[in-house]
RNA sequence: UCCUCAGUAGCUCAAUGGCAGAGCAUCCGGCUGUUAACCGGAGGGUUGUAGGUUCAAAUCCUACCUGAGGAGCCA
């Protein structure tokens, strides 16, 4: 008999089905055993009454330990007592692969232990739910840009020049030359915007920051749109539309997973346009009134960000930062030349910055000047300057960290659970 | 890089200078509707490593190793 996906088991109610998967948990009571089987699409309870099955089937059910792979055949029926609403009365249980002494028990474990067993931990229901939400968000990202006729441009992972300083770059040998793992696809997207108009890239990025917090990974996935002739106001709207689209998608298609994660959906339902916006100057004033010792020119730390977001249930857009604390390529505000047309989007509930973006400098002379001020090696950027030499145009873009979005949407504490195999300061295994 | 905390059974944790313990997991037994099932029994230890103090160290001291939480920086 052909196997049925457990997610589709309800369609077989009243008839016989065969499922293949792994034993998630088992409870027994003398003459009856309950096997919870998972196959990646869902969970189903299989009931094995001793009186109704062959001795071989009874023995197989008894021998099956946590995470043994199994094939179970039986009659499907609705039953309120079963988790999921349907259960199978097993007529045959076959152990496909035994699983002696599975290390992750249904009880509590520490972070280090679970992270060393990440390859097994992803079988656990909550981890499984997070990674399914991540997959849905990846699909939603592709859909959002496809619907808006963006062209996906894959930027290189191995690069010769950096967007920001070289201190946070992973260096590697490239046939005797130095190469670096990409920190951002932006420099490669700007030329592509001149070729295609609306473009985006989506892939892994690498930061050798020695940061050790729940908001940082050394390898994370970033999605970056870049749009020709888009100016700052339009950029803010694009970022807003994007986040609203992604959160709505999670609510529409990840209900089961969010429920398993005990995520409060009402908080996500409040993520609607328009998002509150403040400028950096206004933010500094608010913070000073609340007693924070901050002045124009200071970077906003974690506590400051949390204080600014405290009043809002929607993401907050902070814009127009001092030129000195931002990257070399950001366009100055014509109304206020001390600040640049950059934005940070801060997620509510303390999840912090999920998006950073800006309008880019399109004037060649100004960009050359900024490269010099930031002491960046001019030669490495010659090709990038060509974007301004041959038909320059105003343009803007942003980057969104996928793991930060997923952590926020799922309501999980640490970014390391929002990626299948996290890379952190102290972890490159498994 | 800095600050703080923690390393004891496979896992989560007790034992505060005086006999190394419990729950879960594993194995054995019991129970015909379990929901992290429950009940009884068994096995399981170089207390992170090295040194020191002491009649006596898991416990106090020193160094190192490993991990966690936070800061800075960022997405």
Q: Name all domains of chain A by residue range, CATH numbers in brackets.
A: 6-97 (2.40.50.140), 118-418 (3.30.930.10)
CA–CA gap between residue A406 and residue A415 (Å, rounded): 8
| pLDDT for the residue A80 | 82
A50: the nucleotide nearest its CA (via C1') is B32
To the nearest whole percent, how much of chain A has pLDDT over 90?
67
| pLDDT for the residue A167 | 63
> Which residue in A201, A189, A202 sits closest to A228, CA to CA?
A189
Q: Is the CB of A51 under 7 A from strand B?
A: yes
* Complex ipTM: 0.87
Q: For every residue of A159-201, which 3-state class applies, written as one string? A: ECCCCCCHHHCCEEEECCEEEEECCCCHHHHHHHHHHHCEEEE
| pLDDT for the residue A363 | 97
| Distance from residue A112's CA to nucleotide B68's C1', rounded to whole Å | 8
Q: Is the CB of A423 under 7 A from strand B?
A: no
| pLDDT for the residue A8 | 93
H helices within A198-353, ranges in order?
Answer: 232-253, 255-260, 265-269, 280-289, 302-309
Q: Is the CB of A207 under 7 A from strand B?
A: yes
* Residue ranges, chain A, pLDDT below 70: 161-167
The 10s digit of each residue's pLDDT in A159-174 is 876 555 556 888 888 9
Which residues of chain A (239-278) touch nucleic strand B at CB < 7 A? none
């Amino acid at each position: 008999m052909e196997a049925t996906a457990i997610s589709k088991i309800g369609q077989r109610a009243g008839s016989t089905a065969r499922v293949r998967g792994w034993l998630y948990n088992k409870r027994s009571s003398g003459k009856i055993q309950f096997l919870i089987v998972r196959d990646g699409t869902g969970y189903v309870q299989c009931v094995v009454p001793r009186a109704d099955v062959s001795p071989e089937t009874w023995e197989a059910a008894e021998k099956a330990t946590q995470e043994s792979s199994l094939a179970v055949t039986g009659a499907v029926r609705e039953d309120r007592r079963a988790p999921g609403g349907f259960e199978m009365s097993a007529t045959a249980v076959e152990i496909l692969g035994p699983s002696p002494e599975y290390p992750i028990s249904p009880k509590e474990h520490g972070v280090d232990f679970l992270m060393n067993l990440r390859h097994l931990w992803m079988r656990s229901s909550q981890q499984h739910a997070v990674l399914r939400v991540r997959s849905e968000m990846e699909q939603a990202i592709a859909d959002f840009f496809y619907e808006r006729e963006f062209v996906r441009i894959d930027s290189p992972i191995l690069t010769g020049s950096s967007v920001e300083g070289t201190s946070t770059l992973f260096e590697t040998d490239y046939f005797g030359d130095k190469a670096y793992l990409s920190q951002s696809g932006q420099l490669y997207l700007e030329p592509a915007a001149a070729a295609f108009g609306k473009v985006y890239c989506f892939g892994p990025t690498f930061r050798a920051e020695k940061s050790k917090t729940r908001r940082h990974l050394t390898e994370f996935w970033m999605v970056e749109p870049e749009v020709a002739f888009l100016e700052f106001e339009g950029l803010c709207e694009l970022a807003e539309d994007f986040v609203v689209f992604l959160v709505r998608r999670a609510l529409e298609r990840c209900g089961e997973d969010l429920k398993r994660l005990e995520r409060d959906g009402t908080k996500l339902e409040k993520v609607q346009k328009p998002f509150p916006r403040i400028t950096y100057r206004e933010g500094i004033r608010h913070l000073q009134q609340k007693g924070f010792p901050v002045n124009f020119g200071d970077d906003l730390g974690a506590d400051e960000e949390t204080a600014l977001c405290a009043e809002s249930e929607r993401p907050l857009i902070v814009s127009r930062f001092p030129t000195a604390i931002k990257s070399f390529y950001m366009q100055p505000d014509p109304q206020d030349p001390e600040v640049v047309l950059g934005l940070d989007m801060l997620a509510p509930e303390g999840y912090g910055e999920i998006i950073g973006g800006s309008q880019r400098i399109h004037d060649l002379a100004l960009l050359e000047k900024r490269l010099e001020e930031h002491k960046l090696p001019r030669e490495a950027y010659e090709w990038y300057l060509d974007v301004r030499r041959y038909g320059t145009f105003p343009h803007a873009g942003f980057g969104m960290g996928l793991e930060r979005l997923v952590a926020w949407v799922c309501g999980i504490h640490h970014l390391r659970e929002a990626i299948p195999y996290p890379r952190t300061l102290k972890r490159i295994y498994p």
